[in-house]
Structure 1
Amino acid sequence: MKADAASEEYLLPLGCNVIDRVIRAVCLRLTVTSPAAFEAAHAYRVFSVKTLHENGSNSKIAMYRDQVDAVVHLVYTMQIKGAVLMKRLRLLLVLIVILLMTTVGFMQSSAQEEVTLVVWDNFTREAEQAMIEELNARFEEAHPGVTIQREIYETSDLTQLAPRALSEANGPDVIMVNQGYTGMGALVEAGLLLPLNAYADQYGWWDRYAEGLHARNSFSEDGQEFGTGNLYGVSNTAEVVGVYYHKDIFEEVGLSVPATWEEFEAALQTLADAGYTPIVFGSLDGWPAIHTWGAIEHAYSSLNEIDDFIYRREGGTFVTEANITAAEKMREWIEAGYFTPGFEGMDYDNATYGDFINKAGAMWITGSWMTGSIIADLGEDADNVGFFLLPSATGEEVPLTIGGVGLPYAIRATSEHPDLAAEYIDLVTSPDAAALLFEQGYLPAVAPESVEENTLAGDVVAAWNLISSNNKVGHYLDWTAPDIAADIQEMMAGQVSPEEFVNNVEEDYKSSE
């Protein structure tokens, strides 16, 4: 039986043994009656076992067990003699071929058995939802049997719910996570996220983004070092915090886009004198204050200072002259009436956005993620809105600006479908997805090759290209100082001095290490 031993190099997957019983029975029976017939049948058996091995097993193969047993019974009870031998042999081989074809077909169909991929994202606005639903439909069409179960959360809710959800067996396979120590870092430390380096190699993710942007989605394996180590997320949007403005209001009061800090401050006073609120603003949600004050802070700071603080490098500190000056400037603008009256009680998505859309104010310092909503709501009038970068307060030609990549997609460490999850991430971060994002008015992480000038979308892309190509992309300060929003609100309310403010942030910063 040496020939039989040779087939053992093809180890049958669990569940295929019932098929092998049929083939083995034929081989053993034919050994007694005809060595030549045995050799032929054995060669077929080796081929069949190899076929089963390559097509995989299926737990539902047991459905065929009764049919298999009937064939085995036939093999052992029939009498193979004389001229009947070849006729019976042909009959048996036909039975085996039919059974194999049915089984392999069943296995192949099971490879497309229904799978639910659970995805959590933060695309809450109408224009965003249209975009992501289109991408999900494309993925399902390309993967028969796969259903995307999409769950939508605000960013703050994602951060709060992620630790528990990712610890559960039925948690999200793919989830958007916030960057920084309290977001991604805490999840990495708890072992809840899958390192994506191998998938980045496989799909070419390393080459999709400008140098240095991957650091924002990277952590050491223990979650203690931000900006280094493994890649744990991939983003499909880019973000830049700048100034939206109404072109017709600027034209009415004789303003052009300010090119210097001095020109910007002069524009604030010109608008106020003309009866306009210069900057619409609402800090009720907390995080918008990080962006508005952070934009001023970046105008006074250097990238090295902010990098050292964000990545907790040696000597990194929040107690700098730039931060004190930025806090003083914020208080000065509040007292001058440059912000919406009663901004402390205004939320972001309704009151503040509504004020800007309805021209209750001339400008709005916020992120590029609002472009899609503005285009959707204003329609043809959207190009009456422009976008520019807040100028540098220190005379830099290209201003340091808050920005980076949007919330990245990550994979739950215990997902049963990590390869499928990676395929999903590859699709929603692909150049095709980037084109769809841009069509909907969003800034994709993969920048479009060309844009139409003198449009809102064109302004946003030009701003992003300028800072990303000149290494002037800054950071969101709450990535490393989780309580900074409350500290900023205290400073804006005049409850603490600028010096006390920076020291309070420093204390929070050190206590969160």
Structure 2
Amino acid sequence: MKKTMSLLAVGALSISLLAGCGGGEESSGGDQVKIEFFHHKREGMETIDKLIAKFEEENPNIDVEQSSPPEPSTVLRTRVSKSDIPDIIGVGGDVTYSDLANAGVFTDVTEDKSLENIQPAYVQMLKDVSGLEEVFAIPYVANAVGVIYNKAIFAELGLEVPKTWDEFISVAEKVKEAGKTPFFHTYKDAWTTLPAFNALAANTQGDDFYSELNKGNILAEERYKEAAEKLLQLSEYGHKNQQGVGYNDGNTAFANGESAMYLQGIWALPEIKKANPDIELGVFPFPATNNPDETKVISGVDLILGVAASSKHPEEAKKFVEFLMEEENAKQYIDEQNAFSAIQGITQDDPTVDDLKASFESGSLTDFPDHYIPTGVMPEKTLQSLVINKDVDEFLTKLQADWEKVQDRK
């Protein structure tokens, strides 16, 4: 979710410029090939290690090096600017994908047969966010934002899963009245403001927000007001020192029963379970409004698989991508990471996310709003200031001004 400098700022890139640069190492003996898989899913490294080991056993002549550094988007953009491009790139279906696709970093997969097995909604999301009709990566994993809740605490207090915003606030009030903390907020890490804001904004910004954006009309100052006000309201139901606690500590605290609910994406589930394997968890759709029939679950492409146009070993890189997409391997990834597959027919069977399944089956899904906010705006920093300063007008004015400033540079 984090945003960094624009690729445009480091110079115009093209396939002709990139051809022959970067990629995996040349074979010293002619047989062994080394390729690099660079991705942003640090919490998934253990699972990917297992899959790499399995792939290398089946393909002893190919070595796969996994890279997943902190601040992956910043690192990747810097490497691209130096023409040091990994063979396979796994990022989200967001502005980073858009910048890379528009810069010619990826191999075009529009006609690739692998796309035929991908949920069409996720393919369309890549087109929408990039503004391109061509597709330059395979959507592999989808995530979702909901409200993670402690089933034991809900049972203890006799609480039911809320369907509307008013019910949601009522639940928070009841938890507070019982002497417990409704939400555990981790505002020390600015990006952790985004999951809740995305859910609120996507359900309140209006259906024409993106079409107006495509016309050059930025409506953030007007349309994000309700989301900002509601995020601020939720911040009032947190614990002390919300600005002093980060994501990792938040996962542990919630796992230890320090709050009834946690406003995070499903990517946090493995870390919570790791901290407390016995915890009973559930995830319900974020009730952003009082119209439950219109509530949409925020689900975006969490991990794409893109082969670099500059890779020295494109066949080996593609072979690894195809391996990851095999049903058994794709199923292993989503099972261990509590994610949803972008591949049709591969289902998430963990009862933890049962409450989200109806939305996936009915197609009541929408993409992350921050995927469409351009690099350089950094809404997470502005949201972090919002929950500290509690000034909605200041937040809206700054976000609008930052967005317009970046837009004017294009």
Shared fold by TM > 0.5?
yes
Query: 1:445 pairs with 339, 342, 348, which one?
Result: 342
Aligned positions of 1:255-404 closer than 5 A: 255-305=159-209, 307-308=210-211, 312-321=214-223, 323-334=224-235, 337-349=236-248, 351-379=249-277, 381-382=278-279, 384-404=280-300
- Partner in structure 1 of residue 47 of structure 2: 131
**8 Å Cα contact 2:164/2:290 also seen in 1:** no
Query: 1:158 pairs with 45, 63, 72, which one?
Result: 72
Aligned positions of 1:164-203 closer than 5 A: 164-167=78-81, 171-181=85-95, 183-198=96-111, 200-201=112-113
CA distance in 2, matches of 1:369, 1:468: 20
Query: 2:362 pairs with 466, 469, 478, which one?
Result: 469
**C-alpha spacing 1:208/1:149, structure 2 compared with 1 (3 Å):** same
Aligned positions of 1:224-235 closer than 5 A: 226-235=130-139
Quote the offset at 1:152 in angstroms.
2.0
> How many residues are aligned here?
378
Query: 2:32 pairs with 96, 109, 114, which one?
Result: 114
State the Cα deviation string for residues 142-179 of structure 1 (Å, max 9, x = none).
3231101112223xx22111133235565311122343
Query: 1:416 pairs with 289, 312, 320, which one?
Result: 312
AA at the equivalent of 2:271: S
State the Cα deviation string for residues 45-69 of structure 1 (Å, max 9, x = none).
xxxxxxxxxxxxxx99xxxxxxxxx
**8 Å Cα contact 1:215/1:226 also seen in 2:** no
AA at the equivalent of 1:483: M
**8 Å Cα contact 2:125/2:367 also seen in 1:** no
AA at the equivalent of 1:205: L
AA at the equivalent of 2:170: A
CA distance in 2, matches of 1:409, 1:341: 41
- Partner in structure 1 of residue 385 of structure 2: 490
AA at the equivalent of 1:138: K
Aligned-pair Cα RMSD in Å: 2.7
Structure with greater proportional helix content: 1
Larger-Rg structure:
1
AA at the equivalent of 1:498: V
Quote the offset at 1:316 in angstroms.
4.6
**C-alpha spacing 1:475/1:333, structure 2 compared with 1 (3 Å):** closer
The answer to whether residue 326 in structure 2 is matched with residue 430 in structure 1 is yes
State the Cα deviation string for residues 114-149 of structure 1 (Å, max 9, x = none).
000111123323xx2332112112222232311011
Quote the offset at 1:458 in angstroms.
2.5
CA distance in 1, matches of 2:345, 2:189: 32
Quote the offset at 1:447 in angstroms.
6.1
Quote the offset at 1:274 in angstroms.
0.7
- Partner in structure 1 of residue 373 of structure 2: 480
**C-alpha spacing 1:308/1:277, structure 2 compared with 1 (3 Å):** farther
The answer to whether residue 354 in structure 2 is matched with residue 458 in structure 1 is no
**C-alpha spacing 1:484/1:170, structure 2 compared with 1 (3 Å):** closer
CA distance in 2, matches of 1:171, 1:288: 29
Hey, which bits of structure 1, 4+ residues long, moved more than 4 A? 167-170, 447-452
* 5+ long unaligned stretches in structure 2: 1-26
Q: Identity across aligned pairs (percent)?
A: 20
CA distance in 1, matches of 2:345, 2:101: 32
Quote the offset at 1:280 in angstroms.
0.7
- Partner in structure 2 of residue 142 of structure 1: 58
**8 Å Cα contact 2:338/2:348 also seen in 1:** no
DSSP 3-state at the match of 2:220: coil
State the Cα deviation string for residues 444-475 of structure 1 (Å, max 9, x = none).
223666665xxxx2242551551463342231
* 5+ long unaligned stretches in structure 1: 1-58, 61-108, 220-224
**C-alpha spacing 1:234/1:399, structure 2 compared with 1 (3 Å):** same
**8 Å Cα contact 2:203/2:289 also seen in 1:** yes
DSSP 3-state at the match of 1:120: strand
- Partner in structure 2 of residue 205 of structure 1: 115
AA at the equivalent of 2:231: M
- Partner in structure 1 of residue 402 of structure 2: 508
Quote the offset at 1:354 in angstroms.
1.4
**8 Å Cα contact 1:287/1:485 also seen in 2:** yes
DSSP 3-state at the match of 1:236: strand
DSSP 3-state at the match of 1:217: helix
CA distance in 2, matches of 1:362, 1:441: 22
DSSP 3-state at the match of 1:133: helix
Structure number with higher relative contact order (C-alpha < 8 Å, ≥ 6 residues apart): 2
Quote the offset at 1:483 in angstroms.
1.5
State the Cα deviation string for residues 301-328 of structure 1 (Å, max 9, x = none).
34443x337x63454521334x212222
Quote the offset at 1:282 in angstroms.
0.6
**C-alpha spacing 1:152/1:332, structure 2 compared with 1 (3 Å):** closer
CA distance in 1, matches of 2:312, 2:358: 38
**8 Å Cα contact 2:40/2:90 also seen in 1:** yes
**C-alpha spacing 1:462/1:250, structure 2 compared with 1 (3 Å):** closer
**8 Å Cα contact 1:281/1:340 also seen in 2:** yes
DSSP 3-state at the match of 1:136: helix
The answer to whether residue 125 in structure 2 is matched with residue 216 in structure 1 is yes
